[in-house]
Each structure stands twice: as C-alpha cells, then as structure tokens.
Amino acid sequence: MDDASAPRTAELPRAHGRAVLAADLRSAPEDFFVEELPGFEPSGSGEHLLLTLEKRGMNTAFVARRLADWAGVDERGIGYAGLKDRHAVTRQRFSIHLPGRGDPPLESLAIDGDEGELLKVLESTRHARKLPRGALAGNRFVLRLRGVRGDREAVESRLRDIADRGVPNYFGEQRFGRGGGNLHAALAMFGGKRVGREQRSHLLSAARSHLFNRVLAARVIDGSWDRGVEGEAWMLDGSRSVFGPEPWSDALAERLARFDIHPSGPLWGQGEPRSAGEARRIEFDALAAPPGEALKAGLEGAGLKQERRALRLRPAALQWQWPDDDALELRFELPPGAYATVVLAELGEIRDVAAHSRD
C-alpha cells in the first residue's frame, strides 16, 4: 500500500487465513437485504413526518429527492440516518419537515416500476426533530451468496472463527469511490483544487479511511489487531470513548476477551495520536510510505482533530444456512459505520455482480 490507490477489500490482509470460498454477491437486489435498526423511539408529534420505507432499485439520494418532490419541500428538509445502495432491498427511515401542514397522501408516494423499482411505506408517524445522520443503532443484514465454490466444512469453520473472534474493522471499498477515485481526488484537493462542500466531506473521509486501513492492515499482519500491544489506546464497545494507554492487567484481558473493549487505530487529524509506545510506532511506520505524509498533512490542514476507531468488529447474531447446494445465506447485525463487505472478505473472494455490471 505504497501508492495512492485504495486497495479493494479482498486485497487487504485477512485475519483468519487463506480464502475458503469464492462466490457471487448481488446477482439480484434481493441477495443483499439491509434493515436499519432504529436508534430512538419517535415522539409521536412534531413538525417532521417520520417514514420507514422499503426500497429496491434506488439509492438513498434518489428517494430523498422523490420525497421532496412528493411533499413539495426543499430537499434540505429531508433527513435520513444512513446511505443505502441502489442494488439492494433496504428498509430505512426518512424525515420530512412539514411545519403547520398535514401529511400528504401516502398512497401517492409508492412506486412499483416496470424495471423492478419498488418504494413502499411500512410505517409513518410524527417526530419533533429532523432525522440526523448516524441516528441508528446499527444495521441488520441478510446476504445470499450464489455460485459458492469451496469446502462446506472449511466455510463453516471460518464462520465459527468469525463469530468467536470477529473480523478486522476495515473501511469498505465503497468509502473510496469507483475505482478508488476519491483518494486521488483528495490528494488533488489537498494540492489546491477547489471542490464543493459535500464532495469535500467525502474526500476527507476517504483520506482518513485509507490511513486507518493501512494501520489496521499492519496490525493484522503482525497479529495484534484483536489483542493489543504496549501503548494501546482502548475503545469501549459501542461508543467512541477511548482510554489508556495503561499497563496490561488481568482486568484489561478479561474486558478484551468479552468484547467490552477493542484495540483502536487513528482517524487522522490535528494533535497527537492517543496511542504510545509500540502501538504508536506501528501507526507511524504504517503511514510513512507515500502518500501517507501528504494525506496526514491535508487532513491536519483541513482542521480535523485526532479521533480513534476500533480495530476489531464482531458481527452480532451471526447465523448461516445453505438454501441450495451452491448458495449460502448469512444473517448478522453490525454497528453504525461498519461494512458487511469486510465480513464477507474474511470468507474469500466475493464477486459483486452489481458492481461489475456498472463497469
């Protein structure tokens, strides 16, 4: 990782060893089902209409524009917690700012298109505030892999390892844009190229994510991604709270074993990383090769502050079944900001059919 290309998820080092299968994902949108887990209960009253929608064949931005047109409001009045892909079946919340107005007719919102597009309302209520980004407890996935090639016993052994130990918490390749172009665009932005406000946010995230993945890849290679090293900055599970470094102890070992805490890596910005000693040495060594210094300087110049992200990710409620001889269905839940594709990458070579069809 010594150039400005963001590696594909499958090219990052695996924690659990060689690939145990090859398979296709998203041969059809139904093969990738994701449902947001709500982060709060609606207030039941207020200026915002809160909708839970199921969609197929359209991304979140398209639905937001559709809602704005349907309700006759500016698109800035639409809120959503997270971005969901077009080539999937997804359930997610949206809010619409309707001060002093009744609800538009819900039946006129539905779409059932000739080419498979689907939009339907599952729930509607009122809420006091606009739905902000990140206002979800996580995502529930049901993924079907087709054309599976590999030894079933080895695949199930790998799945048990994932359930027991988790996986490296890489940022997925979708963070880096098509062909990893966001990373090159970030370097151009840091070199003085002007970009729009929204694009700037995406490019800063891509630069940060690339640096984090480089550190995590080094920790996977040396085997410390899920055990910690001297000088570790520890992250509390399910939060952004960080503590340490502190001397190794039986108490830390017990908390690490029950997934209450995780080793962490840097989300780069101004200031000194929270890590020290061996942990900091690994981080700086991993970021030394080009374009590491350019990305670090750009992020610092943009005013971002040092933050941390857990190196370890444990899929919750992981289950699997074999509906056909060459099909594998996986069910699991992930916290916000985690990627289902990094779980799949620990199994082997997964070909995203929908992504290839766009190339």
Residue numbers annotated as active site: 85
Going by C-alpha positions, the residue among 55, 133, 63, 109 that lies closest to residue 87 is 55
Chain position carrying tokens 């309302």: 121
Chain position carrying tokens 């200026």: 47
DSSP string, 178-193: GGGHHHHHHHHHHTT-
C-beta of residue 143 within 8 angstroms of C-beta of residue 47: no
DSSP 314: -
Contacts made by residues 324-330, CB under 8 angstroms, sequence distance 24+: 326/146, 326/147, 326/148, 326/149, 327/144, 327/145, 327/146, 327/148, 328/21, 328/23, 328/144, 328/145, 328/148, 328/155, 329/142, 329/143, 329/144, 329/145, 330/141, 330/142, 330/143, 330/144, 330/145, 330/159
CA 254 vs CA 39, 135, 165, 241, 245: distances in Å: 29, 31, 14, 18, 16
Going by C-alpha positions, the residue among 29, 24, 32, 87 that lies closest to residue 327 is 24
CB atoms within 10 A of CB 329: 16
DSSP string, 29-62: GGGEEEEEEESS---S-SSEEEEEEEEES--HHH
C-beta of residue 46 within 8 angstroms of C-beta of residue 252: no
Give, for 327, the enclosing helix (H) or strand (E): strand 327-334
Going by C-alpha positions, the residue among 37, 50, 36, 39 that lies closest to residue 128 is 50
Chain position carrying tokens 């839940």: 333
For the record, the structure tokens of 16 come out as 């659990």
CA 336 – CA 38 distance, rounded (Å): 11
